Amino acid sequence: MTSEIEQLQASTLDALQHLQDAAAVDALEINILGRKGKLAALLSRIPTLPPAERAGIGTLASEVKQTLQLAFNGARGKFSGTNDHSHFDPTWPGVAPSIGHLHPVTAFVERSVQFFTTLGYAVADGPEVETAAYNFDKLNIPANHPARDLWDTYYLNPERDGILMRTHTSPVQLRYMETHKPPAYVVVPGRVFRHEATDASHDTNFSMLEGLAIDRDLHITDLIGTLKAFLQHTFGPVKMRIRPSYFPFVEPGIEVDMSCLICHGKGCSVCKQTGWLEMLGAGMVHPVVLKNMKVDPKKYSGFAFGIGVERMVMLLHGIPEVRLLLSGDQRFLEQFHY
């Protein structure tokens, strides 16, 4: 019976090709699909079939009926000179236009900035091409300082005349304080550039989120509390480790590590087998830097921090390779819809 139904479909489609007007189409339709048509006649034999075959025949018959119905409608449309839209289904879902989405780094920066603005911080930015005076000198990194060695890099001309791609966002601390008076609370998101060999957790071009707070009676506990609130806002209840560290523009300086969320402390290539990831540097603003900001260190104190954004994004999403973030590879980026 299957072949009879298939044959009916084939012969009907063939006959449709040779019809000359809409009336002929109507007549053929009644002959085939009508209540007393050929398809109905075939189907009336279903009850005589073995039960196992019945369902398959029913499905085939309804597919054939649908195909023929579309063919009849189409043929009628051809003769009437207008397209027959009776098979147009307005409830069918449309084709979604492909609109872009935020890069995971951008999304992270936006979310973090929003966290700090709810704490009352302002947002500022500064130039990516910076002078050595702002990138180093005013931050208490004199010309002969070893910290400068590490960063003395990407000068814009071979004479190293003091114009360079900034190595951190800390220079904006000074630029901001040129136009603001304490109390001042500001965060600075931005791109920084370093001449280093790349590996799974280092790139030559990455993002930082700098923070600066200057007020009366600010203490290191305010700094630690702020950073803890930020990390817990971002990652939930995380393990945090604070180590004394050294940055010329803060005293004391600290580094904040977080347990590696990728290997859960076991050791992997991202955390260099230590189980901890260096997340950010911070400290109490050095009195020399306060003076360079024209802020009186006897009246005011301040704290500052610099967050490495890519590391945070890697931990947040379990990305084992920082260089993917700047690769522009759609197969990677499509996984992060914001």
**Interface residues with ligand DAH (CB under 6 A)?**
168, 170, 210, 247, 250, 281-283, 304-306
Q: Cα–Cα distance between 167 and 140 in angstroms, integer?
A: 15
Nearer to ligand DAH, 170 or 201 (CB): 170
Nearer to ligand DAH, 176 or 247 (CB): 247
Nearer to ligand DAH, 193 or 305 (CB): 305
Closest separation between CB of residue 255 and ligand DAH, Å? 8
Closest separation between CB of residue 332 and ligand DAH, Å? 26
Q: Cα–Cα distance between 315 and 235 in angstroms, integer?
A: 9
Task: Give the closest residue to 196 by CA, choosing from 167, 176, 169.
Answer: 167
Residue 184 half-sphere exposure toward CB, CA atoms < 13 A: 28
Nearer to ligand DAH, 71 or 147 (CB): 147
Long-range contact pairs involving 225-232 (C-beta distance under 8 Å, separation at least 24): 226/119, 226/303, 226/305, 227/256, 227/280, 227/282, 227/305, 229/119, 230/112, 230/115, 230/116, 230/307, 231/256, 231/258, 231/279
Task: Give the closest residue to 315 by CA, choosing from 277, 269, 265.
Answer: 277
Closest separation between CB of residue 106 and ligand DAH, Å? 20
Closest separation between CB of residue 101 and ligand DAH, Å? 29
Nearer to ligand DAH, 190 or 306 (CB): 306
Closest separation between CB of residue 250 and ligand DAH, Å? 4
Assign 3-state DSSP to the chain and report helix, strand, coil percentages, each to 5: 45, 20, 40
Residues of 184-214 as b/e, b for ≥16 C-beta within 10 angstroms?
bbbbbbbebbbeeeeebbebbebbbbbbbbb
Structure tokens at 266: 């076991």
Closest separation between CB of residue 265 and ligand DAH, Å? 24
DSSP summary character for residue 49 = S
Tell me which residue has tokens 């709810």.
118
Q: Cα–Cα distance between 159 and 161 in angstroms, integer?
A: 5
Closest separation between CB of residue 337 and ligand DAH, Å? 30
Q: Cα–Cα distance between 301 and 287 in angstroms, integer?
A: 8
Nearer to ligand DAH, 68 or 214 (CB): 214
**Is the CB of residue 268 less than 8 Å from the CB of residue 276?**
no
Closest separation between CB of residue 243 and ligand DAH, Å? 12
Nearer to ligand DAH, 5 or 282 (CB): 282
**Is the CB of residue 336 less than 8 Å from the CB of residue 132?**
no
Closest separation between CB of residue 305 and ligand DAH, Å? 5
**How many residues does the structure list for the chain?**
338
Nearer to ligand DAH, 104 or 190 (CB): 190
Nearer to ligand DAH, 16 or 187 (CB): 187
